[in-house]
Structure 1
Amino acid sequence: MHNKERLLIAVIASVTVYTTSYYLLAKQEHPVEESHHVNYKFDILGNHSPSQYEVVKWYNNSLFHTKNVTNDTFLMINENRFPLEKIVKLLQKPWTPNIANRDQLFLGSLSKKLLSFQFVTKTTVPKNHKVRIINSNKTVILPGDIYKNLPAIHQYSERQFNTCSVVGSSGILNGSCCGSKIDSADFIIRFNTPRLNGFTKDVGSLTNLVTINPSQIEKQYNRLQSKEDRAKFIAYIQQYQSYLWISGFTYLKSFEYTKLAMRTVRRSRPKRGMKLKILLGHPTHWYAMNKFLSNRGLNASYASSGAYWLTSALTMCDKVNLYGFWPFSTDQNGKPVSYHYYGKSAPRVEKIIKVHRFDQEFAIILDLHI
């Protein structure tokens, strides 16, 4: 498909496999066709179907429970038995927002009370307070220089955004021409400091919050040990000029790398005129979002940053448009899709599934969409 045709689809269709833009918390005006796997009368939270999370059941049963395909082979493999055309038809169904269910979800499982604990601030973590490391029995205390530079209050304490673009990094975005649509949102979230230069036509150029994994600080920037390492780090992240979010309390070493990153950014700001600031994810909020996803069918060590921030966006935005979340190696026409839009390399499946389950997260996304 030519770029012009992809652009036309992106403009006309509410959701399409090419943009992978899901308008979450919706209800279908027309039910999809019946299947022997499940009764296809979907409603958000499963309130009007025989049991909850019918999409999750359909997704797992019809896509992966076959003789030759298991849940361990879901990611980035050439597998033509996946009925991706069914997913495409599902996403292209007429869509209207289900306001009642959105508010029920927001006021219930994703209570606004959680917003106050979304970030580590001087309000949520008192001075010299011990913070529990998520995957350890150990606790840490924020050093004085780190604590001094924490925000006093939560930046987004009120649900104030009309639209949010949550932008994954799948190669499904290549040739999509979604950049302007992504940038038109009130708040734009990206993951793992993706490259923007050279791809703005497809992925946009604006960012309000971008995540970085502490392991990136370790591996890509050599733990910021040398002056050259720190200069490389600063030069790269300056493309965002927004908030850089770190889950700094996942492991003890994550906390160490996070401190290094915060100090590097603070020292560089006056010299380079940097506007970027670092936000620390609060463990209480992390536990709550993972519990929400676990209750909806996620069985993993913990959610990916994409799933975590998608869930968080539901507490911040009236409408969430999701781009670039596509866990397959091809589109529905069999055209190869790279793991990231900005590179051809991909981690080994065996390594990923030790921590994340993108197949289950994708099923939950489909369920929220419907």
Structure 2
Amino acid sequence: MVIKRSVRPLFSVLLVFAAAAATLCFRVIVSGTFGDLLDVRDARATENVPSVFDSALLTFAAVDLAEKSLRQNVEQLVDMDFRSDDFNRQRSFLSAGRYRLHSGERSVRRGPMDLRSPEFYNLWMKFRRYLRDWWRHRQYDPDVMSNMVNVLKTVNMTGVLESGRRYRTCAVVGNSGILLKSNQGKAIDSHEFVIRLNNARIGGYERFVGSKTSLSFMNSNILHLCSRRGGCYCHPYGENVPIMMYMSQPVHFLDYALCNSSHKSPLMITDPQLDVLCARIVKYYSIKRFLKETKKPLEAWSSNHGGPEFHYSSGMQAIMLAVGICNKVSIYGFGKSDTAKHHYHTNQKTELSLHDYQAEYDLYEDLVNTPKSIPFISDKFKFPPVIIHR
């Protein structure tokens, strides 16, 4: 090709720019350092143009770092013979060869259940059945939010399960100490459906947090503690208030297997597909914030956030549940300040390191302002209005 003398300078300039752009792209891809592209990503938030950063972030967020260890744990529990010596070596959740659960008057009178009794054998078989079913369904499904009212079912005020119904207004009440800065009790109680977290105490705090409870949402560690009480009592809001929990440890299905039969109100487990979705979303927001603040490589996130131990909070999943079953969602008691306790009802001042609360706050802001920017959720799902009360 012959280039006219008059356009050669222009051609040279374009060639230099092209070479520089190619070099920059190559360095970004090879090094895996995407922090410098964050500002570009934020500027294009309203555009539907994919970028190298988006693809890498989504791919990394979809990887479950705890998958391998969790699978091994589930397989070990399912395959283990509770009569074997290996089982006895693994029973850190048991006490001196006896399972300290009390499932009713008969068990309370007889004391702790012997691990080698027919009663415990039946419990163990039920536990393994629940665990297998949970693990079989634990997979990613972008449509789980659209099917929430049918998959998770909803609950009315008397504790009766109802399928396919959405609530007009829902309040999710977090446990942050910021609740003590304003009197939101009446506003919270005015909602049709009120979700509370991890059995937070409301006695003496009614003017701040209200008194109405439609659903008690907790992680399974709470039930594990409650199972030590007679009748698996875990009802600070009343025995007719249904309980929903996510399984933070597979072995807690043993507590569920026994307590489920003794509860007057429904005792439910979150859909494992929702668990997977929540894990991906929170990890996405955590990585996004990490890259923006540190400018470190993508791979450095794991060592700074506990790797396989990293997890979403109970509050985050409760909010996602509400978004799936409610026409309007109000969020109370989520956030922090230098002058407020971590929990309004305790003296705890520090946050758990396995959660990235600030990243979750970023998610809540997107739920309010730009819900379509939240990843991993099907486009078919219609987000309800969400309001955060500070």
Q: TM-score, normalised by structure 2?
A: 0.48
Whether 1:283 and 2:282 are equivalent positions in the alignment is no
Amino acid at match of 1:177: N
Percent identical: 21
Which residue, 162, 169, 193 being the options, matches 1:155? Answer: 162
Residue 114 of structure 1 deviates from its aligned partner by 4.3
Structure-2 change in CA distance of 1:290 and 1:117 (3 Å)? farther
Structure-2 change in CA distance of 1:51 and 1:230 (3 Å)? farther
Structure-2 change in CA distance of 1:230 and 1:314 (3 Å)? same
Structure-2 change in CA distance of 1:189 and 1:292 (3 Å)? same
Q: Which runs of 5+ in 2 are unaligned?
A: 1-37, 54-141, 288-300, 370-390
Which residue, 302, 317, 323 being the options, matches 2:332? Answer: 323
CA deviation map 1:231-257 (0-9, x unaligned): 6x6375353632111224x42222112
Q: Is the contact made by 1:156 and 1:316 (CA closer than 8 Å) also made in structure 2?
A: no
Q: Is the contact made by 1:109 and 1:292 (CA closer than 8 Å) also made in structure 2?
A: no
Which residue number corresponds to residue 117 of structure 1?
Answer: 151
**Alpha-carbon RMSD:** 3.8
Which residue number corresponds to residue 346 of structure 2?
Answer: 343
SS in 2 for 1:315: helix
Structure-2 change in CA distance of 1:201 and 1:42 (3 Å)? farther
Residue 324 of structure 1 deviates from its aligned partner by 0.2
Q: Distance in 1 between matches of 2:192 and 2:43?
A: 29
User: What is the correspondence of 1:1-370 to structure 2 with a 5 Å cutoff?
Assistant: 46-47=45-46, 111-118=145-152, 155-158=162-165, 160-219=166-225, 221=226, 223-224=227-228, 229-230=229-230, 234=233, 236-239=235-238, 241-248=240-247, 250-265=248-263, 269=264, 276-297=265-286, 301-326=310-335, 328-330=336-338, 336-346=339-349, 349=351, 352-353=352-353, 355-370=354-369
Q: Is the contact made by 2:144 and 2:274 (CA closer than 8 Å) also made in structure 1?
A: no
Q: Distance in 1 between matches of 2:144 and 2:281?
A: 8
Which residue number corresponds to residue 102 of structure 1?
Answer: none
Amino acid at match of 2:218: I
Amino acid at match of 1:117: V
Q: Distance in 1 between matches of 2:278 and 2:313?
A: 11
SS in 1 for 2:279: helix
- The structure in which a higher percent of residues are helix is 2
Q: Which runs of 5+ in 1 are unaligned?
A: 1-36, 54-107, 121-150, 270-275, 331-335
Residue 344 of structure 1 deviates from its aligned partner by 1.1
Q: Distance in 2 between matches of 1:329 and 1:294?
A: 23
Q: Distance in 1 between matches of 2:163 and 2:282?
A: 22
Q: TM-score, normalised by structure 1?
A: 0.51
Structure-2 change in CA distance of 1:218 and 1:114 (3 Å)? closer
SS in 2 for 1:318: coil
Residue 359 of structure 1 deviates from its aligned partner by 1.4
Give the number of the structure with larger relative contact order, counting CA–CA contacts within 8 Å between residues 6 or more apart. Answer: 1
Give 1 or 2 for the bigger CA radius of gyration.
2
Q: Distance in 1 between matches of 2:282 and 2:143?
A: 10
